[in-house]
Amino acid sequence: MSLIHDLIYFDNPALWDSFGGTSSGYGGLVWQMFIWSVIVGLLVIVWLVYTLIYFRHKEGDPEPKDALKAGVFPHERGNVRIELAWTIAPLILVAWLTFLSLAPLNYMWDVPDVEETDLTIEVTAARFFWGFSYPSDYDVPEEFTKCGSSVGTNCIEIPANSIVRFNITAQDVLHAFYLPEIGIKQDAVPGLDTVAWLDTSVVEPRDEAYEIYCTEYCGEQHSRMLAKVYITEVQNG
Amino acid sequence: MDRAKLLSFGIIVTIIFALSAIPTGETSPNGIDPSISSLVEANGCSCHNVGDAQSPNSNVILNLTMPNNFTAGETYTLTLNITGGPNDIAPMVEGPNMGGFMLKASTGTLTPIDGNVWKPEDSSYLTHTGGAAGQDGDGNNLREWKFNWTAPESDTVVAEFMVYGNSVNGNAKDPSDNNGNSGDYWNSGTFLLAGKNAQITDAGGHGELSGPQKMFYAFGIVFITLGVVVVGYRMVDKEESFEEVMKNYWKWIYPWLTTTDHKYIGTLYIVTGFGWFFVGGILGLMIRWQLFEPRLDGDYLTYTEYNSTFTMHGTTMIFMAAMPIIFGFANYLIPLQIGARDLAFPRINALGYWLLPTGGIVLYMGYFTGGAGDVGWTGYTPYSSGDFATRPGTDFWVAGQIMLGASSTLTAVNFLVTMLRMRAPGVTLMRMPLFAWSILVTVFLLLLSIPVFTVALLLLMADRTFGTLYFSGPESDPILWQHLFWYFGHPEVYIVILPAFGVLSEIISTFSRRPIFGYTSMVYAMATIGIISFVVYGHHMFTTGADPLFRFIVMLTTMLVAVPTGIKIFNWLATMTGGSIVLNTPMLFALGTVITFTIGGITGIILASIPLDIAFHDTYFVVAHFHYVLIGGTMFSFIAGVYYWYPKMVGKIMDERLGLLHFATTFIFFNAAFYPMHNVGISGMPRRYATYDESLTELNQFITISAMLFGLVQLIFVYNVIYSYKYGKEAGDNPWNGWSLEWATSSPPPENSFVEIPTLITAEEAERNE
């Protein structure tokens, strides 16, 4: 049972659920993409099955008038109006989907600057570890105990209800900073500083960690280059 | 009949023998003297009992500075240091509790020279000071230590130093005991120092065989023994001498080796392509078996072997299976379809073909030199240009790719000239069959994109072998490779899908018994896809942090690809509407392709949307997407192509019942194997992972079993090809009632393809003549 359940159901990353209703933001985009995928897919499959039912060749059927003959270029067949229709309709559809993609993009790319940010974390990726560090003037709240002593190496704890910015870089080869449950991904490039950010007020604080994966192939232990982010509620934060 | 039974019995016995020989394909491990490792009292220094204290960490690098060799009785000062590991990237200031070590020599005497190194009483090993209570010194505040070693009285021995070093981050203090106890990462190493007169025996070459090597040797054993059995059987059966048998084989194989005939070369391409497809498929199944459950390093494949496996799987499937199969069909069919006797440059054609198996062998040489290339088929720098990738496996990968690139470029020039200059009377450009049109667009893409990739590969090779710094180093741009690669890489995926569109157009039109709907718009759609393909490549780089405007523009252009592709799909459906559909195997595969390709196209649109791509990029969702378009699009339509043109090439029709069985099983198992990858990807499983989160085990097992079955049922296809070659029904010139010129010649075509160069007339002219 659970296999069938797995096949037809999936969890939205937290960020997707948390934006907009059905007409804007992530939630809306995901919903519309899903609906249109099903519509287009069904259209093709239903049409295909329909032709197979109604236009099958049966014994004794006469050849169509414009049947093919070897060495003879067949009659041109077509209808400009119909062809224009299925040129313009997909055009409108993809324009609509592109338009829908803009709202979450606008949000995502609007990286908060230093004043708007509550906490900036420096992330350094190296084969095969994630190093995190708080800013030097940051008072680590007392509630931050989940990483224990390994804080900074493959583990970081961030406050809930705040804007957290990750400044990402790599030491040796490409890596990518991926929070699957939150839907954030950003490559870590040696010699380049990239940015990802997260509004923790849209993510549920919890005792379990949010996993961080490395998603840019980096060598032998690539699949073990994992880290954890804890989101913890802070009293006086 | 009895002979056949005997022969098959012999073959089965051979295979069983060969398979049972795999586990013995190892030499006995000749490891280090076990007494030394047992002399080190603790199994690694897990002073703080936190972190992953149980297993060594390969990123902690131990280095022991020693002289080149030693003289008997002399005393040397040695330096040990540790670098690397996670504690190097976590913020680290010089401070307390940074590291420790334990060192034991197999011979000679160790003595501390300062307060940092300590030799416990009644023991022969050294360790750092400051660790246990009662010792003075600050040895654990360092990551480098010096000590003396007095050589033994004999200089004919080799001294072995066994070292355990650990890297601690003492800044993260636990306030309760004031000990540094962040992650504690350790590694061990063995260093050899030879006496001046020591005889050094080379212990290399006695290692264990790796998993893929065993696989290769097993196949090698199977093929060689099969060859011996077949030759031996012929010798006994026909009472021929060994030379006579060989001479007969040589006579049979010689024309294939020396041919410049497009039909022979086409067949060679197709057979080679499917051969590599088999090899790549085995690699793919090895990937699936590795992912059957979350495995530890070396449970089935080591992680490095796994990385080589997916690299070779991708490279093989794209460059050595899909493209050769396409070139094979193009080689065979283009001259026939445009009414030419051969390609414009037959010898270049032969050169292009022979570069393919050669390049393939070069690519695979890595397996025999300690590990094939492990950079992924994309070969992203700076990983591929740095020291991390396998060597020389990755060099072979680069060299082989350059050869394959040269092969494709030569072939592209050849087809371009042929199609522009050698069309038969009546075959104007707008009267070419759609398969010919798809190849024409494809060769334009090839000519414009492959040279860029070749240049990028040359730069990469220079980085790897001559020490240039195009892709790594402070002055270089690690993203440059991605621009060069995807400028080629994206047209490349259309290079493999456009000919599939051509095949589908031919088959759907023929089996609907009607002309294709909207021939002109089909041609324009293909040309549009070709043009757009050069301005969309940035969608592979949405997460690199490239310029937002650049990313936005490629999102727009990528979305636009859906329009011409949609036109093609709707035109196919319109062709069938009102037709008289005959459901033979080629048509079944073609219609299956329409469905699977549509699903792949839809996920393509989902991935084109930047916010969704940021979530899905480099996960199994992408893997599902491109397997749906590459297997469900390219491979399915070319399997349909085999069923469709096999009668033309061989003169016999392939068995319909086997074909139906092949289609039904393939379609079901394909979807069962690849559809769940969407779910796995949305759940966050990244691609190229050798292990994964346990919660996904069930889905992955389902995928693996389906993939195995998918691979297995392809044997029906192989059997059908061989069976029909012997027992198939005679095809006649035009078994499917197609219109294009290849159906106007005999099956198989005569030596010069046409007895007389045909003239293509239009339907209007044909009606007037009647």
Asked if A213 and B560 come within 8 Å (Cβ–Cβ), the reply is no
**Residue A17 confidence (pLDDT) above 60:** no
Work out the angle between the directed axes of helices B303-315 and B393-421 (0-180°, nearest 10). Answer: 10
| Contacts B182 to A, Cβ<8 Å | 149-153
User: B259-769: what CATH class?
Assistant: mainly alpha
Alpha helices in B512-547 (DSSP H): 519-532
Q: Residue B323 and residue B331: Cα distance in Å, rounded?
A: 12
Which residues 29-48 of A have a C-beta within 8 angstroms of B?
29-30, 33, 37, 40-41, 44-45, 47-48
CA dihedral A198, A203, A209, A213 (to 10 degrees): -50
Query: Between B85 and A35, whose confidence is greater?
Result: A35
User: A2-109: what CATH class?
Assistant: mainly alpha
Q: What is the mean pLDDT of residues A201-208?
A: 84
Could you count the other beta carbons within 10 Å of the beta carbon of residue A95?
Answer: 14
Q: Residue B604 and residue B622: Cα distance in Å, rounded?
A: 9
Q: Among B172, B577, B598, whose Cβ lies nearest the Cβ of A149?
A: B172
Walk across the sheet containing A210-214 and list its strands. A155-159, A226-232, A210-214, A175-179, A184-188
Q: Residue B72 and residue B154: Cα distance in Å, rounded?
A: 5
Q: Among A68, A124, A192, whose Cβ lies nearest the Cβ of B515?
A: A68
**Residue A237 confidence (pLDDT) above 70:** no
CA dihedral B394, B399, B405, B407 (to 10 degrees): -130
| Contacts A224 to B, Cβ<8 Å | 303, 691
pLDDT given at position B25: 44
- Catalytic sites of B, residue numbers: 313, 342, 377, 407-408, 490, 492, 494, 505, 539-540, 565, 568, 687
Asked if B576 and A91 come within 8 Å (Cβ–Cβ), the reply is no
Taking CA–CA distances from A92, the nearest residue in chain B reads: B563
**DSSP type of residue A64:** P
Asked if B509 and A55 come within 8 Å (Cβ–Cβ), the reply is no
**Weakly modelled stretches of chain B, pLDDT under 70:** 1, 19-55, 86-97, 131-137, 169-184, 199-213
Q: Residue B329 and residue B267: Cα distance in Å, rounded?
A: 8
Asked if B733 and A70 come within 8 Å (Cβ–Cβ), the reply is yes
Give B459→chain A minimum CA distance, Å: 18
Asked if A176 and B303 come within 8 Å (Cβ–Cβ), the reply is no
A123 burial (CB, 10 Å; 0-12 / 13-18 / 19+) is buried
**Is-contact B595 A44, C-beta < 8 A?**
yes
Asked if B698 and A2 come within 8 Å (Cβ–Cβ), the reply is yes
pLDDT given at position B431: 92
Q: Among B89, B555, B583, whose Cβ lies nearest the Cβ of A126?
A: B89
pLDDT given at position A119: 92
Give domain limits for chain B. Answer: 43-195, 259-769
**Residue A141 confidence (pLDDT) above 50:** yes
User: A119-232: what CATH class?
Assistant: mainly beta
| Contacts A65 to B, Cβ<8 Å | none
Walk across the sheet containing B69-70 and list its strands. B69-70, B184-195, B158-168, B99-105, B126-128, B117-118
Q: How confident is the model at residue A92 (pLDDT cuts 50, 70, 90)?
A: very high
Q: How confident is the model at residue A70 (pLDDT cuts 50, 70, 90)?
A: confident
Q: pLDDT per residue over B71-125, tens digit each?
A: 888 888 888 888 777 666 655 545 566 778 888 888 888 888 887 887 777 777 7
Helix (H, G, I), strand (E, B) or coil at B558: helix
Give B6→chain A minimum CA distance, Å: 45
Q: Residue A182 and residue B611: Cα distance in Å, rounded?
A: 12
Q: Residue B589 and residue B605: Cα distance in Å, rounded?
A: 24
ipTM: 0.93
A127-161 residues labelled b (16+ CB within 10 A) or e (exposed): bbbbbbbbeeeeeeeebbebbebbbbbbbbbbbbe
Give A191→chain B minimum CA distance, Å: 7
**Residue A14 confidence (pLDDT) above 80:** no
Nearest CA to A205 among A236, A225, A188, A229? A229
Taking CA–CA distances from A61, the nearest residue in chain B reads: B580
Specify the CATH number of the domain B43-195: 2.60.40.1930
| Contacts A83 to B, Cβ<8 Å | 518, 521, 567, 571
Q: Locate CATH 1.10.287.90 in chain A.
A: 2-109
Q: Is the bond preceding B23 in cis, omega lying within 30 degrees of 0?
A: no
Q: Residue A126 and residue A175: Cα distance in Å, rounded?
A: 8
Question: 3-state SS string over B390-445?
Answer: CCCHHHHHHHHHHHHHHHHHHHHHHHHHHHHHCCCCCCCHHHCCHHHHHHHHHHHH
| Contacts A87 to B, Cβ<8 Å | 521, 563, 566-567
Q: What is the mean pLDDT of residues A179-188?
A: 88
**Is-contact B405 B320, C-beta < 8 A?**
no
Q: How confident is the model at residue A103 (pLDDT cuts 50, 70, 90)?
A: confident
Distances, alpha carbon B454 to alpha carbons A202, B13, B444, B451, B536, in Å = 47, 46, 16, 5, 20
Which residues does residue A188 pair with via DSSP β-bridges, in sequence order?
A175
Could you count the other beta carbons within 10 Å of the beta carbon of residue B705?
Answer: 15
Nearest CA to A182 among A56, A19, A65, A1? A19
Q: How many A×B Cβ pairs under 8 Å?
A: 342
Collect all residues with Cβ–Cβ distance below 8 Å to B604 and sequence separation of at least 6: B558, B561, B562, B625, B629
Q: Residue B647 and residue B724: Cα distance in Å, rounded?
A: 10
B61 burial (CB, 10 Å; 0-12 / 13-18 / 19+) is middle
Give the CA count within 13 Å in the CB-facing half-sphere of B258: 6
Q: Residue B642 and residue B636: Cα distance in Å, rounded?
A: 10
Query: Between A16 and B116, whose confidence is greater?
Result: B116
| Contacts A111 to B, Cβ<8 Å | none
Q: Residue B696 and residue A135: Cα distance in Å, rounded?
A: 36
Q: If residue B145 lies in a helix (H) or strand (E), which one and from where to where? A: strand B144-150
Query: Between A60 and A168, whose confidence is greater?
Result: A168
Q: Residue A186 and residue A170: Cα distance in Å, rounded?
A: 11
Please tell me the pTM assigned to this model: 0.82
| Contacts B56 to A, Cβ<8 Å | none
Taking CA–CA distances from A133, the nearest residue in chain B reads: B91
Asked if A47 and B698 come within 8 Å (Cβ–Cβ), the reply is no
Query: Using alpha carbons only, how large is chain B's radius of gyration in Å?
Result: 32
